[in-house]
Structure 1
Amino acid sequence: PNGKFIAYTGYDDRYQGHQTTELYLMNRDGSGSHSLSAKLDRDVQDPQWAPDSTGIYFRYDDQGDSKVGFYLLDGTFKKIADHLASTTGAGGSGTFSLARTGMIALTYGRPDNPGDVAILNNGAMRVLTSLNEELLTQKKPGHVEEISFDSSKDKRKIQGWIVHPPDFDPAKKYPLVLEIHGGPFADYGDRFDLEKQVLASRGYVVLYTNPRGSTSYGEEFSNLIHHAYPGDDFYDLNSGVDAVIAKGYIDTNNLFVTGGSGGGVLTCWTIEHTDRFRAAASLYPVINWYSFALTSDIPFIAKYWFSGLPWDNTDNYMQRSLTNLVAKVKTPTLVMTGEADYRTPISEAEQFYEALKLLNIDTVLVRVPEEPHGIGRRPSHHIAKMLYIAGWFEQHKTKM
């Protein structure tokens, strides 16, 4: 605000799968550029100058929680607020704004509440709204429990969350759904998630985790899948299922798996490496990395996720494609993609569906008209997506 400095975000491009976005400061003439946030090792988003020019506020995700941070111009860091949230999904989100007085307005949410408006003044937070109070008195959300477990691959600690059905009784046995986030460079966290709550309301325990490759744990953790995705992330996901089963309340005859986009990729990868799941639902996945590089609206990722272009590295592209091990699949699988999806075109889903048909595996392909990536443009289509998944699982559930 005083016109002396320019703050900006960016990174030196090293063609990695994930590159941490840092906060930089430079003089107004472009000289003296330097990173303020290198030691933080978290992605800096939405930088905003303090009204008095003493520093910069920003949003960042840390271990599955969206926060507000602050850097003084000398690089001194301070965490300002936790639990930013403003969505109906467990992915990172939330917004904040600054008043000239220094007061901060932000969106605040918890796993049992989609989000409200709060203010932060002199370090004290006050939630101003209760936008979902009426709904939450009528519909009881499932309790969300954080879980930590070791990966069977290398004993790394993996963070996850368990959504219990409303009125959960640990003495009973429940079917389990493993729900996998997309990206793959993204994170889940202790945030309200409508789709997972819908499954929990239908009697499922839902597990969601941050396997290797997830953000909010530092660049090294994210790049464990650099030029190796899908890959060892399977072991993290499968170990999470084992950890929940060890709690004693899961019906091991009724395990299910689903995910969208990068989560759809890992859903298919999972059922190519184990037959423990009764059914799977893969939403808008990438199936063939070669065709994806030539049909997606983000073809440039070939420079980051692979060591070269597909025609120069055909073997590597195909080894990491889901067509490579599809003959191992025994799990009934629903595949769903929007017909207006330019990120993971429906031709990807069609390839997996046709392959399973050739293998005589129980499968259906759901085409959603006019829907882009995510299938959420129309509320009716979003609801239909959730009902298709739940219906597919119900159809393949065994009787206890």
Structure 2
Amino acid sequence: MENDICVIPATGGTARNLTADWSLDPNDPSWSADGKTIYFSAETSGNVHLFAVAAAGGPARQVTTGERQLRGFTLSSDGRSLAYTASDITHGTELYVTALAPAHGTERRLTMFNDSLFKQVTLIPADTFWFTGVGGLKIEGWLMKPFGYQPGKRYPLVLSIHGGPHSNYGNVLFPEFQMLAGQGYWMLFTNPRGSTGYGHAFTYATRGRWGMEDYQDLMQAVDLAIARAKGGVDTTRMAVLGGSYGGFMTNWIVGHTNRFRVAQTDRSIFNWYSWYGSSDAQGLTEYEFRGAPWESDSLYRVLSPMAYATNMHTPMLIVHSEDDKRVPITDAEQLFMSLRKRGVPAEFVRYPRSFHGLSRTGPPWLLVDRLERIRTWFAHWIGTGDAAPAVTTSGH
């Protein structure tokens, strides 16, 4: 399941693995003009950077730096310059160029697409923190303060969980986080075990154990965020949301704890059996759960959030795309039915003509509609900032 960069003579022969001893996953390899170097990108912690390795062999070296994510690397025909896009938590994506030879030079920004917009809004930075999870794994997280934060006041907190699980959050502008922090929420996001960018052992630590130690990582991150806020989190007004694997984990969390007052689940898995029979990605669970359902029945059962449906009491906003082939909408339908049958407050939003990537690459009007539904759902149940929610008791 790991990526490596290999070279083989054009006339045939034995392939040589140039990154066999490298712990990260290289992507998008490109030859240098002189054929002596191979450049590639890789996720490293919460960043994405350009790396290089000699075609003759040797250690990989990092070419670009900074707490940010760089993508779309393109080398000039003479190999002396490099172009790429870059973004960090408070800066939108722009195009940059820098010299590679004779030495790595000063970066120049070529576009200003977002300047006029960002002069009209406040973008909120994030504080990075690390902690030691179960088994000694080092976990990275980020915490954004609520807009208008005042010491001595308490604000609700939102935990966001990324998809994958072999993906990550990091140092890139994420409008959803800015929107929620702007509404007066502490915004917590983290890369629990299973995330990419921290080495192969970290990435595949969840194999056969989804919802186990990764769940503990997330709960530990919440505890640490509360401690870092020094009394600034109203622990009676916390929310959890996520999509894809993050949606699975949101469903899992509300089936295992009542510490969150409200939840929002996106393109989520509820029943691994039905998911396997209708998804376009059966290979994921065949690897992660060590076989098909009839070969690994116990894992498919025990790791299905449906197995814990009777423990789910958290009001839930369910969002799903009708044309999602990765996580078909039948899982959302089953989740909605199970909640409504048991009297748990739930709202089900179905988006037509939309796919698995709706929250990131869908039609703009649907992106706005989705964010507005999340905003109003959370405001109803946990309020905004230091303002009280519409529902002031634990009753439904």
1:309-341 deviations in whole A, cap 9, x for unaligned? 212333321111110011111211111101111
2:157 is the alignment partner of 1:176: yes
Aligned-partner Cα distance in 1 for 2:183–2:148: 12
The one-letter code sitting in structure 2 at the alignment partner of 1:98 is: L
TM-score normalised by L of structure 2 = 0.91
Q: Which digits, 9 at most, give the CA deviation of each residue in 1:275-322, with x for residues without a partner?
A: 010100010101111111110111232321222221233332111111
- In structure 2, the CA distance between the partners of 1:393 and 1:34, relative to structure 1 (3 Å rule), is same
- Residue 94 of structure 2 corresponds to 116
Matched, 1:256 2:239: yes
Q: 2:22 aligned to 22, 40, 43, which one? A: 40
Show structure 1 runs of 5+ residues with no match: 1-18, 86-91
- Is 1:57 the counterpart of 2:39? The answer is yes
**CA shift digits 1:208-264 (9 cap, x unpaired):** 100010011111111111122132211100111111100222111110000011100
How far apart are the structure 1 equivalents of 2:148 and 2:285?
Answer: 47
What SS does the corresponding residue of 2:5 show, helix, strand or coil? Answer: strand
Corresponding residue for residue 134 of structure 1: 116
Q: CA deviation at 1:109?
A: 1.4
Indicate if the aligned counterparts of 2:38 and 2:54 stay in contact, CA closer than 8 A.
yes
1:188 to 169, 181, 193: 169
* One-letter identity of the residue aligned with 2:242: G
Q: Secondary structure at the match of 1:300?
A: helix
2:83 aligned residue (77, 80, 105): 105
- The aligned counterpart of 1:10 is none
Aligned residue for 2:71? Answer: 94
- Matched residue type, 2:90: D
Q: Tell me the equivalent position of 1:324.
A: 307
What's 2:206 paired with? 225
User: 3-state DSSP class of the match of 2:135?
Assistant: coil
**Distance in 2 between residues matched to 1:181 and 1:211, nearest whole Å:** 9
Q: Partner of 1:209: helix, strand, or coil?
A: strand
- CA distance, structure 1, for counterparts of residue 26 and residue 270 of structure 2: 31
Q: 1:42 & 1:23 partners in 2: Cα distance? A: 11
Q: Distance in 1 between matches of 2:289 and 2:235?
A: 37
Please tell me the residue identity of whatever aligns with 1:220.
A
Q: Whole-Å Cα distance in 2 between the matches of residues 264 and 369 of structure 1?
A: 19
1:212/1:221 contact within 8 Å kept = yes
Inter-partner Cα distance in structure 2 for 1:29 and 1:302:
38
Give me the whole-angstrom Cα distance separating, in 1, the residues matched to 2:242 and 2:218. 12
Say whether residues 1:204 and 2:185 are aligned partners. yes
Counterpart of 2:92, as a letter, is P
2:381 matches 1:396: yes
Indicate the RMSD between aligned Cα atoms, in angstroms: 1.7
Task: Name the residue aligned to 2:3.
Answer: 21
Whole-angstrom CA distance in 1 between matches of 2:9 and 2:17 = 13
Equivalent AA in structure 1 for residue 76 of structure 2: A
CA contact (8 A) 1:98 1:104 kept: yes
Please, which moves more after superposition, 110-119 or 275-284? 110-119
Name the structure 2 match of 1:298.
281
1:267 aligns with 2:245: no
Per the TM alignment, residue 83 of structure 1 is displaced from its structure 2 partner at its CA by: 5.2
Match of 2:144 among 149, 163, 171: 163
User: How many angstroms apart in 2 are the aligned matches of 1:256 and 1:333?
Assistant: 10
2:307 alignment partner, SS class:
coil
Q: Secondary structure at the match of 1:345?
A: coil
Given that 1:143 and 1:166 are in contact with CA atoms closer than 8 Å, whether structure 2 keeps it comes out as no
Kept in 1: contact 2:70–2:84 (CA 8 A): no
Aligned partners of 2:86 and 2:96 also within 8 Å: yes
Measure the CA separation in 1 of the matches of 2:348 and 2:224. Answer: 32
TM-score (norm 1): 0.90
Name structure 2 gaps, 5 residues minimum: 390-396
Q: For the Cα contact (< 8 Å) 2:129–2:142, is it kept in 1?
A: yes
Instruction: Give 1:106 deviation, angstroms.
Output: 0.8
Secondary structure, aligned partner of 1:138 = coil
Specify the SS of the correspondent of 1:27.
coil
Please give the alpha-carbon distance, in whole angstroms, between the structure 2 residues aligned to 1:21 and 1:105: 24
Amino acid at match of 2:164: G
User: Does structure 1 conserve the Cα–Cα contact (< 8 Å) formed by 2:70 and 2:87?
Assistant: no
d(CA) in 1 for partners of 2:109 and 2:169? 23
Post-superposition CA distance 1:155-175 (Å, at most 9, x none): 432101112233433443221
**Which residue identity is paired with 2:238?**
L
User: In 2, are the aligned partners of 1:59 and 1:68 still within 8 Å (CA)?
Assistant: yes
8 Å CA contact 2:192, 2:218 repeated in 1: yes
Q: Which amino acid aligns with 1:119?
A: V
- Hey, what does 1:149 align to over in structure 2? 131
Percentage of pairs with the same residue = 31
Deviation at 1:93, TM superposition (A): 6.5
- Distance in 1 between residues matched to 2:203 and 2:155, nearest whole Å: 32
Bigger drift between 276-285 and 384-393 goes to: 384-393
Q: Answer yes or no: is the 8 Å Cα contact 1:84–1:107 preserved in 2.
A: no
Which residue type is aligned with residue 36 of structure 1?
L
SS at the partner of 1:310? Answer: coil
Runs of 4+ in 1 over 4 A off after TM superposition: none
Amino acid at match of 1:103: S
**Could you tell me which of 203, 220, 226 is aligned with 1:239?**
220
